[in-house]
Amino acid sequence: MALAKDKQCVEEAVCSSQRDGDVKEEQASESSSRESDSSGDLEPEWLDDIQNNGELFYLELSEGEEELALAQAAPSTNHVHFSEQEAEIFTDQKKKQRGGGSRPKGEPTLKRLARILRRKCRAARRRRGKDESAPPASILKNQPSPRQGVRAQLKEVCVYLNPKRLGASSTLLGAGNGLLETLLGVVHRPAWSRGLSDPAEVRPEERLRVDGLVPNSPACKSDQILIGDVIVAMDDVEVTSENIERVLSCIPGPTQVRLTLETVAPLGRSGGDVSLCDRELKARPPVSQLVRLLWGEDAAELQMSVDHLPHVVMFLSLRLDSTSTRDEEEIWYQFPLSEASKQLKAVRGIFLTLCDMLDTVTGGHIVSSSLLLGKHLVHVGYWKEGNNLLVIGLPAERVPLFSLQAVVGDVVRTLKVMYGSLDSAFCQKDLAPRLDHFFCLFFQQLIQPTRLRRNSSAPPDVPGTLFLDGLPAVRWLTLPPEIKVEVDTILSDFESSDFGEMSEDHFGLRRLYVILGSCLFYKSYLIANHLPKEDLLDVSLYLQHYCLLPLTSEQRVGQLVVWREVFPQQRANGSAGSTPGYAQTRGRHFLLIVGLRHFLQCVLLESGGCASQAVGCLGPDCVYVDQVKATLLQLETLESAVEERLKAPSTPCLSCADWFLPDSPSPILSKLAGAVRGRGLFGERSRRSSPQRSLSDSEVQAEITLGVGLANSKKLGARRDSLGSDGSVAHSKTPRRKPPNPFHLSSPSPRRTLTERESEQIYQTMKLSSGAENTLFHYVLMETMQGIFIAPTHSELSQLGGSIHPRLVRNFHHCCLSIRAAFQQSLPPTGRRAAYQASGGGWGLGPVKEHGVLFQCKPENWTDQKKPAPTMTYWVIGRMLLEPVPQEFYVCFHDSVPEVPVEMAFRLSFGLAV
Least distance between other proteins and beta carbon 327 (Å): 19
Closer by beta carbon to other proteins, 212 or else 400: 400
Least distance between other proteins and beta carbon 572 (Å): 23
Binding mask 752-791 for other proteins (x = CB under 8 A): ----------------------------------------
Closer by beta carbon to other proteins, 424 or else 465: 465
Contact 463, 810 (CB under 8 A): yes
Contact 802, 666 (CB under 8 A): no
Binding mask 573-612 for other proteins (x = CB under 8 A): ----------------------------------------
Q: Could you give the CA distance from residue 469 to residue 568 in angstroms, rounded to a whole number?
A: 19
For residues 118, 124, 125 and 129, what is the CA-based torsion angle, rounded to 10 degrees?
Answer: 150
Per CB under 8 A, contacts with other proteins among 870-889 are 873
**Pair type for strands 588-597 and 81-83:** unpaired
Query: Between the CA of residue 569 and those of 317, 360, 417, 747, what are the distances in Å?
Result: 23, 30, 6, 50
Closer by beta carbon to other proteins, 1 or else 853: 853
Single out the residue of 166, 267, 318, 358 in contact with other proteins (rule: CB under 8 A): 358
Least distance between other proteins and beta carbon 416 (Å): 19
Helical H runs in 712-755? 716-732
Query: Between the CA of residue 298 and those of 440, 456, 876, what are the distances in Å?
Result: 10, 18, 40
Strand partners, 84: 5
Least distance between other proteins and beta carbon 763 (Å): 25
Strand partners, 579: none
Contact 722, 768 (CB under 8 A): no
Under the binding rule (CB under 8 A), the answer on residue 849 touching other proteins is yes
Exposed / middle / buried, residue 896 (Cβ in 10 Å: 0-12, 13-18, 19+): buried
Closer by beta carbon to other proteins, 123 or else 358: 358
Q: Could you give the CA distance from residue 27 to residue 353 in angstroms, rounded to a whole number?
A: 45
Q: Which of 213, 257, 208 is nearest to 232 (CA)?
A: 208
Under the binding rule (CB under 8 A), the answer on residue 371 touching other proteins is yes
Least distance between other proteins and beta carbon 388 (Å): 18
Counted residue by residue, the chain has a size of: 914
Least distance between other proteins and beta carbon 411 (Å): 18
Closer by beta carbon to other proteins, 412 or else 536: 412
For residues 498, 503, 509 and 512, what is the CA-based torsion angle, rounded to 10 degrees?
Answer: -90
**Cα torsion angle, 173, 174, 175, 177, sign:** negative
Closer by beta carbon to other proteins, 709 or else 886: 709
Cβ count within 10 A of residue 788: 23
**Pair type for strands 788-790 and 474-475:** parallel
- The set of residues, in sequence order, having a beta carbon less than 8 Å from that of 720 and lying 6+ positions away, is 770, 900, 903
Closer by beta carbon to other proteins, 353 or else 734: 353
Per CB under 8 A, contacts with other proteins among 288-347 are 343-344, 346-347
Closer by beta carbon to other proteins, 320 or else 835: 835
Q: Could you give the CA distance from residue 457 to residue 461 in angstroms, rounded to a whole number?
A: 12
Stretch that binds other proteins, among 178-186, 328-336, 680-688, 832-840 (CB under 8 A): 832-840
Single out the residue of 70, 226, 366, 656 in contact with other proteins (rule: CB under 8 A): 366
Binding mask 890-909 for other proteins (x = CB under 8 A): --------x-----------
Single out the residue of 857, 881, 891, 905 in contact with other proteins (rule: CB under 8 A): 857
Least distance between other proteins and beta carbon 730 (Å): 19
Single out the residue of 64, 101, 363, 500 in contact with other proteins (rule: CB under 8 A): 363
Per CB under 8 A, contacts with other proteins among 784-823 are 807-808, 810-811, 814-815, 818, 821-822
Under the binding rule (CB under 8 A), the answer on residue 856 touching other proteins is yes
Single out the residue of 18, 456, 666, 825 in contact with other proteins (rule: CB under 8 A): 825
Under the binding rule (CB under 8 A), the answer on residue 648 touching other proteins is no
Cβ count within 10 A of residue 325: 6
Binding mask 179-208 for other proteins (x = CB under 8 A): ------------------------------
State phi, psi for 550 to the nearest 5 degrees: -60, -35
Under the binding rule (CB under 8 A), the answer on residue 727 touching other proteins is no
Q: Could you give the CA distance from residue 385 to residue 783 in angstroms, rounded to a whole number?
A: 30
Per CB under 8 A, contacts with other proteins among 689-718 are 698-699, 702-703, 705-706, 708-710, 714-716
Under the binding rule (CB under 8 A), the answer on residue 373 touching other proteins is yes
Single out the residue of 81, 511, 645, 851 in contact with other proteins (rule: CB under 8 A): 851
Total number of residues binding other proteins (CB under 8 A)?
Answer: 78
Closer by beta carbon to other proteins, 337 or else 702: 702
Give the three-state DSSP class for 323: coil
Single out the residue of 110, 121, 300, 357 in contact with other proteins (rule: CB under 8 A): 357
Taking only Cα atoms into account, the Rg of the chain, rounded to an integer number of angstroms, comes to 31
Least distance between other proteins and beta carbon 415 (Å): 20
Per CB under 8 A, contacts with other proteins among 387-426 are 401
Least distance between other proteins and beta carbon 387 (Å): 19
Contact 469, 544 (CB under 8 A): yes
Closer by beta carbon to other proteins, 369 or else 664: 369
Least distance between other proteins and beta carbon 338 (Å): 15
Q: Which of 96, 84, 190 is nearest to 137 (CA)?
A: 84
For residues 61, 62, 67 and 68, what is the CA-based torsion angle, rounded to 10 degrees?
Answer: -40
Under the binding rule (CB under 8 A), the answer on residue 177 touching other proteins is no
Stretch that binds other proteins, among 149-157, 504-512, 542-550, 826-834 (CB under 8 A): 826-834
Least distance between other proteins and beta carbon 854 (Å): 4
Q: Could you give the CA distance from residue 598 to residue 455 in angstroms, rounded to a whole number?
A: 17
Least distance between other proteins and beta carbon 448 (Å): 20
Contact 693, 699 (CB under 8 A): no
Q: Could you give the CA distance from residue 792 to residue 796 in angstroms, rounded to a whole number?
A: 6
Closer by beta carbon to other proteins, 33 or else 856: 856
Q: Could you give the CA distance from residue 857 to residue 307 in angstroms, rounded to a whole number?
A: 35
Least distance between other proteins and beta carbon 276 (Å): 49
Q: Could you give the CA distance from residue 388 to residue 422 in angstroms, rounded to a whole number?
A: 9
Q: Which H or E run includes 893?
A: strand 887-894
